[in-house]
Structure 1
Amino acid sequence: MDDIMHQIVSKTMKHGEKLPSENELTTKYKVPRMTVRNALTKLEERGYIYSVHGKGRYLKEASTQIQLHLTGKTSFTDKMKEAGYDLKTENIFCEKIAYNDQLFQNINASKKDNVYKIGRIRYINGDPIAIHISYVCDKMFPEIVEDGPKIESMFTYYRKLGYNEFASKKSLLSITFPTSDEQQLLSCKSMVPLIVVESDCIDLASNKVLEHTKILYRSDKFKYDITMD
């Protein structure tokens, strides 16, 4: 597995190239076929290769480079459209969440308030790139139960309510692995790491916290440019 990884990283193997068969790899490395199969399974779980039934295994195509912005001044939708990407968004849920001390503090909500999470999947060129989850309080947005299931862009929603300039309180970046539900939504394997970006969105005019945002980005199909403007 390490040797194949070295070939991928050193670009000895080209994107889209077919890998040798299990029998060929068994002969080359002088190991049992099960060892070869286990190695290939791990590489597939980590998102480096994929299988085509009846044809074999192939190295993933080259990653698409996406601008990953860590600031909250512009909406994700606007950023992607300005960059010329074919972006589509699907609203997947709007539901009330149980009390969470840290999360409720982030958006200045108390125990008696109702907080909702609104989830959207982002697609670039037809491929799922990220899950966006926004946590908002009905104290700030009394119509969120009715409006939430229809929202694709939170910033567009805020602008309709008179909020026009935004900033991030702070942004945190971490890594996680997808749950079974996230694997289905993002069309990825269990061992493909997800980049997690969390931040609080603030209305500049009032200094009010509008939402806490958690974004899960696929790491296997895209390269992320995090250069700050």
Structure 2
Amino acid sequence: MEIEKEALIIDELFELLESGTIRPGGKLPSENTLADQYRVPRYTVRNALNHLEERGLIESVQGKGRFLKPGPARIRIPLSGKTSFTEKMGELGRSLETSVVSCEPSDNGEAARILAADPGDPVWRIGRLRVVDGEPIAIHYSHVLQSRFPEIGADGPDIRSMFEYYREHGYGDFKSGKTLLSVVFPSSREQELLRCSRLVPLLALESSCLDGRSGDMLEYTRILYRSDTFKYDISDIQE
């Protein structure tokens, strides 16, 4: 019964925050007020509030109470593979910083399948952290074949834009393959990079990038977006 009450409190407080009834920086009702309202012990209310705090929605100020945490402004981004993330942020007038957080051979079987890797043909994974307007909001994992880009192991740590790298290697007319969108939760390493808790859902966008002229498969991409930072424009996506 208490678990059901706790879930009810979480759901109703979440709706209250999402509806804009409480503005960023606004104070939430006290634990005593909520305990009286829902007719539950204070520890039930405290557990519900702690859950919302772990999700990054509210913050505690000692001696003052809990407040709706101002979140980063949601960025509207086209769900298209024709331009790079760097180019999209530039078009939106956003400040973008990119750092390479990993460059290593990958054992991702799905990446190998999509890239049609031959046995013994290494797949490399380049992980890049995207920081927009000072806020870490996405991790891009690009998987490429060593046979197509023989120097990827040495070049990877310096790559800030994969599209620019492909252009340097003679590719330029990009198109995206099938795109899949799912919800996942961050690993401990991803929590550290994105500065979020384990309960903040991430949007996982999986797609492939091809060269439009040759049809060559250039990369398999898995991008993890903090779900509180983006709105997706899917108007140009067709069946």
Both proteins in one fold, TM over 0.5: yes
Matching residue within 170, 174, 180 for 1:162: 170
Which deviates more, 47-56 or 131-140? 47-56
Q: For residue 152 of structure 1, what is the aligned residue in structure 2?
A: 160
Matching residue within 3, 18, 40 for 2:12: 3
Q: Write the distance in 2 (CA, Å) between the matches of 1:163 and 1:188.
A: 36
Q: For residue 17 of structure 1, what is the aligned residue in structure 2?
A: 26
Give 3-state SS (helix, strand or coil) of 2:13's partner: helix
**Unpaired segments of 5 or more residues in structure 1?**
none
Which deviates more, 6-15 or 183-192? 6-15
Q: Write the distance in 2 (CA, Å) between the matches of 1:158 and 1:67.
A: 26
Q: Write the distance in 1 (CA, Å) between the matches of 2:171 and 2:230.
A: 32
Pair 1:225-2:229 in alignment: no
Q: For residue 42 of structure 1, what is the aligned residue in structure 2?
A: 51
Q: Write the distance in 1 (CA, Å) between the matches of 2:64 and 2:160.
A: 39
Counterpart code for 2:153 = V
Pair 1:177-2:185 in alignment: yes
Aligned length: 227
Alpha-carbon displacement from aligned partner over 1:68-122 (angstroms, at most 9, x marks no partner) = 332211000001111101111111010012262x321211211210111000011
Matching residue within 122, 127, 148 for 1:114: 122
Q: For residue 5 of structure 2, what is the aligned residue in structure 1?
A: none
Q: For residue 69 of structure 1, what is the aligned residue in structure 2?
A: 78
Q: How far is the alpha carbon of 1:204 from its aligned partner?
A: 1.2
Give 3-state SS (helix, strand or coil) of 2:47's partner: helix
Q: Write the distance in 1 (CA, Å) between the matches of 2:167 and 2:220.
A: 17
Pair 1:206-2:233 in alignment: no
Q: Write the distance in 2 (CA, Å) between the matches of 1:8 and 1:99.
A: 39
Identity of aligned residues (%): 50
Q: Write the distance in 1 (CA, Å) between the matches of 2:230 and 2:112.
A: 33
Counterpart code for 1:21 = S
Q: For residue 196 of structure 1, what is the aligned residue in structure 2?
A: 204
Q: What TM-score results when the alignment is normalised by the length of structure 2?
A: 0.88
Q: Write the distance in 1 (CA, Å) between the matches of 2:219 and 2:108.
A: 15
Q: For residue 100 of structure 2, what is the aligned residue in structure 1?
A: 91
Give 3-state SS (helix, strand or coil) of 2:56's partner: coil
Contact 1:151–1:157 (8 Å) recurs in 2: yes
Q: How far is the alpha carbon of 1:225 from its aligned partner?
A: 3.3
Contact 2:79–2:234 (8 Å) recurs in 1: no
